Structure 1
Amino acid sequence: METAFTELVGVRYPIVQTGMGWVAGPRLVSGAADAGALGILASATMTLDQLRSAVREVKSRTREGTPFGVNLRADAGDAPERVRLIIDEGVRVASFALAPSRELIARLKDAGVVVIPSVGARRHAEKVAAWGADAVIVQGGEGGGHTGEVATTVLLPQVVDAVDIPVVAAGGFADGRGLVAALAYGAAGIAMGTRFLLTADSTVPDAVKAEYLKASVRDVTVTTAVDGLPHRMLRTGLVESLERAGRTGALLRAVRHAAGFRKVSGLSWSAMVRDGLAMRHGKELSWSQVLLAANTPMLLKASMVEGRTDLGVMASGQVAGVIDDLPSCAELVERVMAEAHAVLERLHGAHPPPAPAPTAPTTAPAPTPAAPHPHGTLPPPG
C-alpha cells in the first residue's frame, strides 16, 4: 500500500510503531521495521552511548537499508549531540515529542534525515510545517501518555486541511479498519503505541502485559497526579493513591525520583536543571509541575522494565480496552494490512452508483479535473 508517507520514508506499509520510553528498544523496533512498518527507538531514557548501541543493534537485526527512526526530546540539553549521532549513524527518520527548533530541523534535513514531529494541535502542525518538517504525527486524546482533549476524529481532519505535508494519525488505532478510516480522513498512515507494546516482540514483562490485556476501556483514565500534566494510563491502585496523596506528598516523591533518574540517565544535576528550564518554557509549567515531571521516567521504568505494577504506572491508549492478544510484529502488521485491504474491497463493492439516464449530446466543455489532495486518495483494494 503506497501513500505519501511510505514514499517519504521508504517503508512498505503506512504504519508507525511509536517511540515509547523504556518500551521501544532494539527488539521491538527491529521487529516492526522487518515487518514493513516504521519502527522508532525511544531515546529519552537512554544515554548517548546507549542510544548509539541501540541504533547499531537495530541495524544488525534488520536487513541492510531497512529504514527506522529515533525519537528525541527537542528540549533536552544534549539534543544537538543526539542529532549528530543520528546523522553520523545514518538513521533515516528523526521524530520529536515536542516541536524541534527551526535550526534542528534544518540541520537534520541538510543531512538527508526525514523530520517527523508529533503534534497535538493544528497550530503546532502549521508551525513545524512552516519550519520545514517533512511530515507530522498528530495524536488525538485517545492516545496514551501525555495527551490532549480533542479526539482524533476531530483533530485529524483539521490538521490534514491545514498543512500540505503527509499526516500520520495516532490515538485510537489498533487494526486495519482504523487504517482505512485514517486514510479516508486524508491521513497518509497511522501510528500505534499500545498495540505494538502488546506484541510478543515487546520486552515489557509478561505480568505487565497481562494487566493491559485485562483492562477494559473504562480502566484507561487520564490523570494529572503523576506529573501535573494530563497523562493517559491504566487506572491502578497506585494511580488512585497518587491522586489522594496531595501536592506535598507528590513533590517529595518527585525529588526522590529525580535523584533516581539522574543515576539512570547519566545526567548531572545542572543538566537536569537546564532540561527543566527548557520544559518549563516550552509548556509554560510552574516549578512544581517541572519537579513533578521527574516522576514520569522512574514510575514508567518500574512497570515497563522491572514489572512492578504496584510501584509503577502504565501509560496506555484507550485501545488497550479492545486488545486481547500478543501477536508478533510481523503477525500484527500482516493482520492490519489484510484487514485494511478487505475493508477497501468491501467499500469499493458496496452500493455502486446507478447508471446515469441517457441524455441528449451537448457541446458543453469538459469539466476541469479537481486538483489532487496533497496526501493522496484511498488506494485501490489491491
Structure 2
Amino acid sequence: MRTRLTDLLGCPHPIVQTGMGYVAGAALVTATSSAGGFGIVASATMTVDELRTTIEKIKTGTDAPFGVNIRADAADAEDKIDLLVRHQVRLASFALAPSRDLIRRCADGGVLTMPSVGARRHAEKVAEWGVDAVLVQGGEGGGHTGPVPTTLLLPQVVDAVGIPVVAAGGFFDGRGLVAALAYGASGIAMGTRFLLTTDSPVALDVKRRYLAAGLTGTVVTTRVDGVPHRVLRTPFVDSLERAGRLSGLIRALRNAAAYRRSTGLSWPDLLRAGRATRQGRSLTWAQTLMAANTPAMLRASMVEGRSSSGVMSAGQVAGLIDDLPSCADLINRIMRDADARLAALAG
C-alpha cells in the first residue's frame, strides 16, 4: 500500500510503531521494521551511549529504515540528533514540539522530523517551521494525551497542513487503517498494540494485565507527573488519585528516594531534574517529585514486571485487544484486513 508516508519513510506499509519508554528498544524496532512497518526507538530513557548501542543493534538486525524518538527539552537532545545524523537514521520523532534549531539541525543532517501534536494550532506551528510530517494523537491514546478524540482532531489537522499526517489513538486493525486513510491521513501509529506482541520486551504478567483491561480499564490522571497521562487503572494508580496533599508528598518523597537509590543520583541532582520538569507548569512539589521519578515508575512495570507498584501507560484500545501476535503477524493481518475492507468498499 503506497501512501505519502510510505514514500517519505521508505517502508512498505503505512504503519508506525511509536516510541514507548523501556518498550521500544532494539528488539521491537527491528521486528517492526523488518516486517514492513516503521519502528521508532524510545530514547528518552536512554543515555547517548545506550542509544548508540541500540542503533547499532538495529542496523545489524535489519536494513529497513527506522526512527528515534527524542525528548525535545532534554539536555542531550542535540547530542542524540548528531548521533542520528552520523548513523543515517531516517527519522527523528518528538513527543514535545522541537525548536526551530533542532528541526534545522535534523534537516541539515538529512534526518526527517515528525513531532507529535494534540491540537491543530500545534500542527500548524511545526508545519510552518519545516517538519516533514506530524503524528496526531487523539485522546484515546496512551501516555500523555489531550481531551479531543482522534475522529475530531484528525480531520481538523489534515485540513490545516499540507504535509503527511499520521493518525494515532485508538488504532489496532485494518478497519482503523482504512478509516484513517478516509479521513485523509497517510498512515497510522500504534503503541499499545505493538506493546502487546511477542516481540515486545515487557514481562508476560504485565501484558496479561493489559489484556484483562476493559474499555473503561484506563484513566487519565495528572497525579503521575502533573500533566494528563492515560494509564491502566490499578490499585496503585487509584491510590495516587485518592491521595491528599500531605500523603501525596510523603508518597512522592518515598518514590523519589527509591528512584535515587536505583539511579545513583544525588538529592541535588534529583531536585534539579524536578525543577527542570516544573518549568512552565503549575505543579505542586509533590507532582514535581513524581514527575522527576516517573521513569522509575515506568521501569518498575515495563522492565521489572512489578505491575502492582509501577505505572503502565495504555491507550483505551487495550480493551479491544485479546492476543499477543508477533509484529510480522500483526502487520500482515492489518494489511490483509485493510485490503479486504477497501475491496469491499469499492465493490
Q: TM-score range by the shorter chain?
A: over 0.9
State the AA in 2 paired with 1:298.
A
Structure 2 residue aligned with 1:291 = 289
The aligned runs of 1:195-344 (5 Å cut-off) are 195-258=193-256, 260-261=258-259, 276-281=274-279, 283-286=280-283, 288=285, 289-344=287-342
Residue by residue over 1:335-361, the C-alpha shift from the partner in whole angstroms, topping out at 9 and shown as x without a partner, is: 000000000001011xxxxxxxxxxxx
State the AA in 1 paired with 2:216.
R
Q: What is the DSSP-based 3-state SS (H/G/I as helix, E as strand, rest coil) of the residue aligned with 1:94?
A: strand
Greater shift, 79-88 or 106-115, is seen at 79-88
Q: Is the aligned partner of 1:110 residue 2:101?
A: no
Structure 2 residue aligned with 1:49 = 49
Give, in whole Å, the separation in 2 of the partners of 1:160 and 1:277.
36
Residue by residue over 1:114-169, the C-alpha shift from the partner in whole angstroms, topping out at 9 and shown as x without a partner, is: 10001111111111111111000010000001111000000001111111110000
Task: Measure how far apart 1:267 and its partner are.
Answer: 6.8
Task: Measure how far apart 1:219 and its partner are.
Answer: 1.1
Distance 1:270 1:34, change over 3 A: farther
Residue by residue over 1:76-120, the C-alpha shift from the partner in whole angstroms, topping out at 9 and shown as x without a partner, is: 111111111111121111000000000000010111101000111
Give, in whole Å, the separation in 2 of the partners of 1:52 and 1:265.
20
Structure 2 residue aligned with 1:31 = 31
Give, in whole Å, the separation in 2 of the partners of 1:94 and 1:275.
24
State the AA in 1 paired with 2:226.
G
Distance 1:239 1:102, change over 3 A: same
Structure 2 residue aligned with 1:21 = 21
Distance 1:119 1:274, change over 3 A: farther
Q: What is the DSSP-based 3-state SS (H/G/I as helix, E as strand, rest coil) of the residue aligned with 1:218?
A: coil
State the AA in 1 paired with 2:344.
R
Give, in whole Å, the separation in 2 of the partners of 1:34 and 1:108.
24
State the AA in 2 paired with 1:11.
C
TM-score, normalised via structure 1 length? 0.86
Structure 2 residue aligned with 1:144 = 142
**Percent identity of paired positions between Structure 1 and Structure 2:** 63
Give, in whole Å, the separation in 2 of the partners of 1:146 and 1:84.
26
Structure 2 residue aligned with 1:354 = none
Structure 2 residue aligned with 1:98 = 96
Give, in whole Å, the separation in 2 of the partners of 1:214 and 1:190.
24
Give, in whole Å, the separation in 2 of the partners of 1:41 and 1:161.
29
Distance 1:285 1:35, change over 3 A: farther
Structure 2 residue aligned with 1:78 = 76
State the AA in 1 paired with 2:48.
L
Give, in whole Å, the separation in 2 of the partners of 1:193 and 1:121.
19
State the AA in 2 paired with 1:29.
V
Give, in whole Å, the separation in 1 of the partners of 2:298 and 2:310.
6
176, 182, 186: which is aligned to 1:188? 186
Task: Measure how far apart 1:274 and its partner are.
Answer: 5.9
Is this contact kept in 1: 2:11–2:65, CA < 8 A?
A: yes
Structure 2 residue aligned with 1:61 = 61
Q: What is the DSSP-based 3-state SS (H/G/I as helix, E as strand, rest coil) of the residue aligned with 1:137?
A: strand
Distance 1:136 1:262, change over 3 A: farther
State the AA in 1 paired with 2:281.
E
Structure 2 residue aligned with 1:370 = none
Greater shift, 235-244 or 113-122, is seen at 235-244
Give, in whole Å, the separation in 2 of the partners of 1:321 and 1:253.
29
State the AA in 2 paired with 1:251.
L
Task: Measure how far apart 1:221 and its partner are.
Answer: 1.6
Is this contact kept in 1: 2:273–2:292, CA < 8 A?
A: no
Residue by residue over 1:241-266, the C-alpha shift from the partner in whole angstroms, topping out at 9 and shown as x without a partner, is: 11122233333333444455566667
- Report the structure number with the largest CA radius of gyration: 1
Give, in whole Å, the separation in 1 of the partners of 2:212 and 2:100.
43
- Unpaired runs of 5+ residues, structure 2, are none
Q: What is the DSSP-based 3-state SS (H/G/I as helix, E as strand, rest coil) of the residue aligned with 2:337?
A: helix
Give, in whole Å, the separation in 1 of the partners of 2:293 and 2:181.
37
Give, in whole Å, the separation in 1 of the partners of 2:46 and 2:187.
28
Is this contact kept in 2: 1:40–1:69, CA < 8 A?
A: yes
Is this contact kept in 2: 1:75–1:279, CA < 8 A?
A: no
State the AA in 1 paired with 2:139.
G
Is this contact kept in 1: 2:270–2:292, CA < 8 A?
A: no
